[in-house]
Structures are given as structure tokens and as C-alpha cells.
Amino acid sequence: MSETAPAHSDGPLTGVRVVDASTILAGPLCCQLLGDYGAEVVKIEHPKRGDGMRGHGPSKDGEPLWWKEISRNKRLVAADLSRADGAELLLRLAETADVLVENFRPGTLERWGLGPEDLWRRNPALIVVRVTGFGQTGPYSSRPGFGTLAEAMSGFAHLTGDPSMPPTLPAFGLADSLCGVAAVGATMMALWERDTKSPGVGQVVDMNLLTPLMTAVGPGPTVYDQLGVVEQRRGNRSLNNAPRNTYRTSDGRWVAVSTSAQSIAERVMRLVGHPEVIDEPWFATGGQRALHADLLDGHVSTWIGQRTRDEVIEQFTAAGAAVAPIYDAADIVADEHVRATGMVRKVADDKLGDVLMHDVMWGMSRTPGRIRRTGGDLGADTDPVLKELGYEAADIEAMRERGVIA
């Protein structure tokens, strides 16, 4: 049986309408999160190709699993926006919406008569969130934009991996995911400004994949500007503290240790049997400890390597020191804290039965979000959405025969 969500409102965004005209990951994730917290999201896909997210990741019985999560809580409409009838459909949707999220290359919507000025003629209060690789302006604005490129240009790949090995890219959509989460905040700021300071007046939110990840990577440009220093790869070590690394346990598992706080560093070194280093002058700051990482890592790795993962975690926890196991997906699903706090939840799906997926991202005491439905088939809600917009059944069928909708 599915775990049932507690009875509550659909979230703080109940009554907000969002049109998701984006593809792949950043835009759809932004809209998923808005939908998780109550917004009505109407997703537009090409009637033949669909969203490329349908082909990302593993499938079961022909059902794409990532799609079940990224398109949950969305009504699915299939329409070709490059066709006149499809453009009119989007304009009608925009008339009823608070937010439109799109990630076409700059100039594409304008070419179809769907740019912000066109949309605002129908709905001046619309917030238009534009997600691209490099933004709407600048010399790179017309380039194809993908997360891999942002992960390369942000400094992330340069700083990630062993210093003796090539730069390392993440094995998941890091840049897109950060951008998607950031876009939620930007969207809410724009809605707040519209509703409290400029009633009835929308604006464009210009999101790109590069900026959020550059921010997450840290103050490299500032350090270079002020000191002329370009930071280099250090593997799992940090410039700011030590010991900080991953360590192998006696049963072949791995744990991660952090000593960002001075008191934690002292507890770790006492626990592993080397309290003498605490009295060294260099131990007093994280940056100085980082210069002695070989010594500190040697002490910690020797101690951890003589104990099982469970023993290490038990003794670190008892000592008030910071440690965590290195998890794979199976470990995440089995973790008692993950399950007890609802970080993952089973949701009923028409095709697959119960599907375990990430629950809503953050808790809210009075207006929490919830998962109302999983992602479905291409064009599953085309007809009811068009009827709500005033289309007659004959018009819908004619558009379908012309290939404008599916």
C-alpha cells in the first residue's frame, strides 16, 4: 500500500497557475517544486517529440522513471508552439496564468509571436521565467546551453577530482538542478513584487545555468582578483579545514569526516588517539590544519581502517564528532532517518503501482506541499485543458488531425 500523505491543503501556492513550456531539467524542476506546493502546473510538450526528460534515465515496462517525479503534479498538454494554432493555445493559457517558464533559445518565442511583449498584451501581470544556458544577452546567449557546459565553465570541474587526474564532471544534473531550485526563489520574488509593489505588472526573470553553480563553487573570482591565486584540485581535501576526507573502514565501506568547527576537529583527534596534535600552534585554525592534512589524514585513516563502519559511526556519534556514511541509492532508501522524516515517499501510479520518489523538498508547518499525482502520458490532459480555455470539441479534433496537438 502507498504511504498516504497527511490531510492538509495543497500548499501555499494553491490558486497560482504556472505554464511549464520548458524541457530537460532546470525549468521542469522549477515547475515541479512550484507544483509540489500547490500551484496548478500545465505542462506543454511537443506532440511528437515530447519533453526530452522522457528519455532520461532508466525505464520500467516502457515507463520512464525520472519522468514520474519531474512531471508529478502537472497537467500534460501536447501542442506544437511553432504552429499558429499552437501559439494561440499558449497565448490563451498565458491569459489565465501567473507564471510561464520556458527554456527555448533566445529569440525563439519572439519568432513565434510568443515573446514577453506578446504575452503581456494578453496578460500584463504574467511573470515570464526564461531559463537558458548563458542568459538572454551577451556573446554566448545564442549558444546551446547544457548543464555539462556550466559545470565546466563555473569552475566546478576544475576543482573536482584528484589533482593527478583530469577535471571531473558530476554524474548527475548538478547545474540544471541548482538552477531549477534557484528559479523557484526568483519566481517567488517576482510574484511578491508584482502582488505587493506593482499590482498587475509582470516582468521577465532571466535565469541561466552558469550563475547558480558559479555561486555554489565559491569565491574563486574574488580570491583571484585580490590575491592572484587560482585554486587547484585537492581531491576530497579542503583549503579551509582538516581532517576532511573520505576514509575506508575495515569492512570495506566508506565514511566522510568533516571538521569545519574547531571543537569538532579537537574531538576527532582525541577520539583517534592523537590528542597531542591539538596543542600544536598550527592546529588552532582550519586553514593551518589544512596545511598538515597528510599528518592528520594518516592518524584518522589508520584509526578508521581498524574498525567497521558501524563501529566508526557509533564511536564518532558518542564523541560528538561529525561523520556520515557514504551512501548509494540502496543505502538512502534503507536509512532510518530518511524514512522516518519522509524524505522519500511511495506514490500511487496508474502504470507502475507504488513508486518511491523524493518527497517535497522542505517542510512547512501550516501549508505543507504534497504529491498529488505522478508524471503521465504525453498529452494526457490536452482535451480537458483546451475545453477549459473555451475550445469546442470540433476545434480540438481539427487541431489534432493537423498535428498541432496530441
Task: Report which of 187, 151, 143, 155 is spatially closest to residue 171, judged by C-alpha positions.
Answer: 151
Which residues, in sequence order, are bridge partners of residue 261? none
Burial class from Cβ neighbours inside 10 Å (0-12, 13-18, 19+) for residue 356 reads middle
HSE (CB half, 13 Å, CA atoms) of 108? 17
Query: Which listed residue (10, 80, 176, 349) is catalytic?
Result: 176
- Helix, strand or coil, per DSSP, at residue 240: coil
Sequence-ordered list of residues with C-beta below 8 angstroms from that of 357, at least 6 positions apart, any chain: 68, 69, 72, 344, 345, 347, 371, 374
Active-site residue 176, yes or no?
A: yes
The position carrying cell 517558464 is 101
Pairwise CA distance, residues 344 & 349, whole Å:
15
Q: What is the dihedral of CA 103, 74, 45, 190, to 10 degrees?
A: -20
| Pairing outcome for strands 74-78 and 63-64 | unpaired
Supply the residues annotated as catalytic: 176
